[in-house]
Amino acid sequence: MNEEDAGHQWHDLAAVDDLPAGQMTAHEINGLHVALYNAGGRLLATDNICPHGEALLTDGYLDDTVIECPLHGAQFDICNGVLLCGPAETDLRSYSTRVADGHIQVLLPIQST
């Protein structure tokens, strides 16, 4: 069974050329807030809402593969969503990415309406 059959779907989020190394962008797809990162050429994606303070992580600080929440300084590894230091208490969801036809795509769960 492929990932699309398991309740997930690929979504175009940005053109590769629109996300330079060291940058991040915020996206909302069907009510899901996603942060897209270019960490030295590695295209990564996580939830964009901090589980501690409801802040957008893309308003925070990106240092290589670590995102820091702008409200209270929680830090997460954007490679896998793992919480590195609090005050948050839970990890972020991370999402698979790929490049297709010059666009960065992210594999997201299909939202039921």
Q: Can you give the pLDDT of all 113 residues of the chain as single tens digits? A: 344 557 899 999 999 999 999 999 999 998 899 999 999 999 999 999 999 878 999 999 999 999 999 999 999 999 999 999 989 899 999 999 999 999 999 999 987 65
CATH of residue 91: 2.102.10.10
Q: Alpha-carbon distance 61 to 67, whole Å?
A: 6
Residue with tokens 């939202």: 111
| Predicted local confidence at residue 113, as pLDDT | 52
Q: Domain tally for the chain? A: 1
The overall pTM is greater than 0.85: yes
| Predicted local confidence at residue 52, as pLDDT | 87
| Predicted local confidence at residue 1, as pLDDT | 37
Range of the domain at 80: 3-109
